[in-house]
Amino acid sequence: MKTSNLPDIHTDFAQWYQEVVYRAQLADQSPVRGCMVIRPYGYAIWEEIQTVLDKKIKETGHQNAYFPLLIPESFLNKEAEHVKGFAPEVAVVTHAGGKELEEPLVIRPTSETIIHSMFARWITSWRDLPLKINQWANVVRWEMRTRPFLRTTEFLWQEGHTAHETYEEAHAEMILMFEHYVDLAENYLAIPVITGRKPDSEKFAGADITMTLEGIMQDGKALQMCTSHMISQNFARAFNISFQNRNGELAHPYLTSWGATTRLIGALIMTHGDAKGLILPPRIAPIQVVIIPILKADSQEKVCAYAQELADVLKKAGVRVHLDLDDQKTPGAKFYEWELKGVPLRIEVGPRDLEQKQVVIVSRLTGKKEVILGDTLERIISQKIKEEQDALFARARDYRNKLWFKREKLSEFTQDLETKGGFYQTGWCGDETCEEKVKAAKGTIRCLLPEKEFAHCFSCQKSSINDIIIAKSY
Amino acid sequence: MKTSNLPDIHTDFAQWYQEVVYRAQLADQSPVRGCMVIRPYGYAIWEEIQTVLDKKIKETGHQNAYFPLLIPESFLNKEAEHVKGFAPEVAVVTHAGGKELEEPLVIRPTSETIIHSMFARWITSWRDLPLKINQWANVVRWEMRTRPFLRTTEFLWQEGHTAHETYEEAHAEMILMFEHYVDLAENYLAIPVITGRKPDSEKFAGADITMTLEGIMQDGKALQMCTSHMISQNFARAFNISFQNRNGELAHPYLTSWGATTRLIGALIMTHGDAKGLILPPRIAPIQVVIIPILKADSQEKVCAYAQELADVLKKAGVRVHLDLDDQKTPGAKFYEWELKGVPLRIEVGPRDLEQKQVVIVSRLTGKKEVILGDTLERIISQKIKEEQDALFARARDYRNKLWFKREKLSEFTQDLETKGGFYQTGWCGDETCEEKVKAAKGTIRCLLPEKEFAHCFSCQKSSINDIIIAKSY
């Protein structure tokens, strides 16, 4: 492991990010263009996220299933908006089993088309509704510029797909799953988000409404974290999904889809990291507490036994604890490594601690050391896990608030947006001509907020339809 | 749901199998050649298998990671045996992002090549060993004849890949994971297996040793369930994986790989099913107990409340219970459905049961009914879950034993093998010329057993190297 300093987080954020990803062994570059290898430590974070999300998905009445990776090219072409959005970035299988295929197959960039084709078979009556399916899968989108976790050719995600009798029910589903994503982001990942509807230009290809969670990264850019969509009725028509409704008439169901990806790991890094590397919120950290024994020749065995005892106590209490007994590394090298990897709490125990039946606890976030009695460990660690989680969220919220500005006109913030980043709340008439001006300033409308503080459009000064957030984005 | 009888399990096993898969909603045909959709009930079985296996994999010190789906075609060509085995069945991506690729990419049929290329980067010293990685993933193999779960173009699996300092350590790893597979098969899936080494002709393409678990299906055919391999040193050489050993010399590590797939769901169906459909072993059943209230107009509410109370008791005790309150179906239709779906235990509660504070428990395996007092439910159900599991295994073991014959010469069983199936233990000289004779009789050598009862080869009568099992296979 390299022990030189990381690139400066303030002046060279992009390079800092890459180095944290590689040095903390979250991911590695692969020999395949735009694809990364998710290493065990990065994958363990994804498993924690999966556990939280899978529970939410099942508790809200969805069932997991699995649909084919390969989709007939003709399926993609059935919904006009969808093909426009995804056709340019699909990977295409033209040969298989030593022969050229009659019809090329695309690797799923998302699974609406294949899943809706099955919905058409499964749904015949209102009694089959709602149909609420989720899939954990890999997808491939041939992106031009890639970055580990943030934008990779292949990524992992969950994609929910549901069908409902009425517009209202589908709309409620879209909102419900959106709110679960907000809960995941804020209460587990400790990332405060700005939420709202996407403007038409930024919607999912084929959606009527796209709801988004925008995270605020430390470099002042927005990261779209999760999205939840009302899918256009065109999909139901294109795939012939229809059912006999309660009045005996044939009707199309209303569809939703919603997804969260491995990109969330990128959000964690960019929201919480510091000069020493990653900082993980305890609720999602694969290792919440690392115990490092300080070994001297004459007490080595006893100190290790004491450290093991502490580890057992914490493990039994349900804490995710790792005891680092590697005898090839100095304590200093271990401190460095586990700080880089963002473990929320470190426990040090040496010969003197053993004598006094005490332990030293160090917070990754503040670096503050505290000496406590060994027999209070379980209680104090469980309290500290909560405190660290809250403190991390509070720090990120403060940071977000400092980067959240309210401005009447684009001209007031064009320069700041381009040079310093930040989030600019303003009014918008809803017109694409005005939206184009934002793009010229290297920003995008990240979302339309539910509230309305500004009466006029940031550009044309006509009446505003909604407040919006303008920012640069990943 | 179709309620006509299933095809006859004795005379038309293949058709019976397909119908159980589709009617029990384990899987559905997809519009993509050779690919199936795994429906929620089938996927829930896979999730139970994953839970058991993932725990074993982690407890034995392996870490999950994720490697790219797409592999440069040149990687596959690096190990001669490997490319010979897999090249004919890969799916090839030739175009992506609207352009022809410079080098085609194959969709992983297995991940040795991409994972070993990363091992070469991660392993430099004996201190980096053992390296023990597992991946849960989808793979694609362009099979000519496909059947749901048993052989599909795309399937889900876990693939373990490890690297070790010494041959002995790698060999022990191969055996350890093999034994965990046996435990999964026998103690969770309730499937007794015949185990041993594969003959050279049936080894994994590029392995020195392949250990196999062969399940015995009710039609007398063998199903290869899981395999564990000692990978040839050629892989380490082909991918330049080398490390400085404890003597300071450069050495190649010894590699293993091992995998279990969604095929296991096919094994469950074909081992335990009967004329009514699927029978699931309780330890792997997504629903262990289904509660069906018998509703009459005047007591409906009270009976439902009682059924709910029972469900809550069981749920709290960790039993996977489903309360079927569907008011569109008769109790009879529900019995039929949950029997088809193989739920191990059914609880019926009607107005009289409510009065007597009792419940009726029915075993899926035996059909036996038992009336018990409601307040003994938790204890009796947990006992019955154990009993049903054991009874299912015992029944399958008896069946295996009845199909397991010992014979001196091929000529004694050629006709039985072809017409009735079955497992024939005999001796073998190890020569491929004799093995060819088995293939001519439509059988294969499923495995070499560790024991040696037969002194002579089934064909040439020369000295036997090992007892073997000959059978027809899926």
Which of B41, B48, B69, B141 should be substituted to probe chain A, the one whose Cβ sees the most A Cβ atoms within 10 Å?
A: B69
Compute the distance between CA of residue A326 and CA of residue A305 in angstroms, rounded to an integer. Answer: 14
CB A345 within 8 A of CB A356: no
DSSP run (H or E) holding B321? strand B321-323
**How far away is chain B from the Cα of A54, in angstroms, using its nearest Cα?**
12
Helices of type H across A138-230:
167-183
B441: tokens are 């009789």
Q: Which of B37, B118, B140 sits opposite A28 (nearest CB)?
A: B118
CB B263 within 8 A of CB B10: no
Q: What is the mean pLDDT of chain A?
A: 96
A353: tokens are 């601690």
Q: Are the Cβ atoms of A70 and B127 closer than 8 angstroms?
A: no
- Give percent of chain A with pLDDT exceeding 90: 92
DSSP run (H or E) holding B315? helix B300-316
Q: Count CA atoms within 13 Å of residue B462 on its CB side.
A: 8
Q: Are the Cβ atoms of A93 and B91 closer than 8 angstroms?
A: yes
Compute the distance between CA of residue B142 and CA of residue B154 in angstroms, rounded to an integer. Answer: 8
Per-residue pLDDT reduced to its tens digit, A49-96:
999 999 999 999 999 999 999 999 999 998 888 888 898 999 999 999
Per-residue pLDDT reduced to its tens digit, A122-137:
999 999 999 999 999 9
Q: Are the Cβ atoms of B67 and A91 closer than 8 angstroms?
A: no
Q: Which residue of B has its CA nearest to A327?
A: B127
**How far away is chain B from the Cα of A70, in angstroms, using its nearest Cα?**
7
CB B184 within 8 A of CB B207: no
Residues A194, A198, A201, A203, CA torsion sign: positive
Q: Write down the residue that tokens 């997804």 correspond to.
A: A259
Compute the distance between CA of residue B290 and CA of residue B37 in angstroms, rounded to an integer. Answer: 25
Q: Domains plus CATH for chain A?
A: 13-272 (3.30.930.10), 289-384 (3.40.50.800), 404-471 (3.30.110.30)
Region of A152 (left: φ > 0; alpha: ψ -120 to 50; beta: rest) is beta
DSSP assignment string, B33-85: TT-EEE-HHHHHHHHHHHHHHHHHHHHTT-EE-B--SEEEHHHHTTSHHHHHH
Residues of chain A contacting B66 with CB distance shorter than 8 Å = 37-38, 43, 46, 156
Say whether pLDDT at A2 is over 80.
no
Q: Which residue of B has its CA nearest to A101?
A: B91
Q: Which of A75, A93, A121 sits opposite B92 (nearest CB)?
A: A93
Q: Which of B38, B66, B104 sits opposite A43 (nearest CB)?
A: B66
Q: Are the Cβ atoms of B133 and A97 closer than 8 angstroms?
A: no
Q: Are the Cβ atoms of A138 and B138 closer than 8 angstroms?
A: yes
pLDDT for the residue numbered B4? 74
Q: Which residues contact A418 (CB under 8 A, 6 or more apart)?
A: A441, A442, A443, A472
**How far away is chain A from the Cα of B262, in angstroms, using its nearest Cα?**
11
Within 10 A of B275 (CB to CB), how many other CB atoms are there? 12
**How far away is chain A from the Cα of B255, in angstroms, using its nearest Cα?**
19
Q: Are the Cβ atoms of B72 and A118 closer than 8 angstroms?
A: no
pLDDT for the residue numbered B215? 95
Q: Which residues contact B415 (CB under 8 A, 6 or more apart)?
A: none
Q: Which of A40, A118, A144 sits opposite B28 (nearest CB)?
A: A118
Q: Are the Cβ atoms of A69 and B107 closer than 8 angstroms?
A: yes
Which of B92, B155, B327 should be substituted to probe chain A, the one whose Cβ sees the most A Cβ atoms within 10 Å?
A: B92
Q: Are the Cβ atoms of A93 and B88 closer than 8 angstroms?
A: no
Q: Count residue pairs from A and B with Cβ separation < 8 A.
A: 159
Residue A444 pLDDT grade (very low, low, confident, very high; cuts 50, 70, 90) = very high
Compute the distance between CA of residue B366 and CA of residue B359 in angstroms, rounded to an integer. Answer: 18
Per-residue pLDDT reduced to its tens digit, A300-313:
999 999 999 999 99
**How far away is chain A from the Cα of B145, in angstroms, using its nearest Cα?**
12
Q: Are the Cβ atoms of B30 and A328 closer than 8 angstroms?
A: no
Say whether pLDDT at A166 is over 60.
yes
Which of B45, B63, B70 should be substituted to probe chain A, the one whose Cβ sees the most A Cβ atoms within 10 Å?
A: B70
Among B47, B59, B30, residue whose Cα is nearest residue B265: B47
pLDDT in tens for each of the 474 residues of chain B?
A: 555 789 999 999 999 999 999 999 999 999 998 999 999 999 999 999 999 999 999 999 999 999 999 999 999 998 888 888 898 999 999 999 999 999 999 999 999 999 999 999 999 999 999 999 999 999 999 998 999 999 999 999 999 999 999 999 999 999 999 999 999 999 999 999 999 999 999 999 989 999 999 998 999 999 999 999 999 888 999 999 999 999 999 999 999 999 999 999 999 999 999 999 999 999 999 999 999 999 888 889 999 999 999 999 999 999 999 999 998 899 999 999 999 999 999 999 999 999 999 999 999 999 999 999 999 999 999 999 999 999 999 999 999 999 999 999 999 999 999 999 999 999 999 999 999 999 999 999 999 999 899 999 999 999 999 999 999 999
Residues of chain B contacting A68 with CB distance shorter than 8 Å = 30, 32, 35-37, 154
ipTM of the complex: 0.97
Q: Which of A40, A97, A140 sits opposite B89 (nearest CB)?
A: A97
Mean pLDDT of A325-340: 95
Say whether pLDDT at A385 is over 70.
yes
Q: Which residue of B has its CA nearest to A93?
A: B93
Compute the distance between CA of residue B192 and CA of residue B178 in angstroms, rounded to an integer. Answer: 14
Q: Which of A47, A88, A91 sits opposite B93 (nearest CB)?
A: A91
Q: Are the Cβ atoms of A63 and B43 closer than 8 angstroms?
A: yes
Q: Are the Cβ atoms of B31 and A75 closer than 8 angstroms?
A: yes
Per-residue pLDDT reduced to its tens digit, A83-125:
888 989 999 999 999 999 999 999 999 999 999 999 999 999 9
Say which DSSP state B463 is in: B
Per-residue pLDDT reduced to its tens digit, A247-299:
999 999 999 999 999 999 999 999 999 999 999 999 999 999 999 999 888 88
pLDDT for the residue numbered A451? 87
* C-alpha to C-alpha distances, A464 to A105, A159, A200, A445, A468, nearest whole angstrom: 45, 34, 16, 14, 10
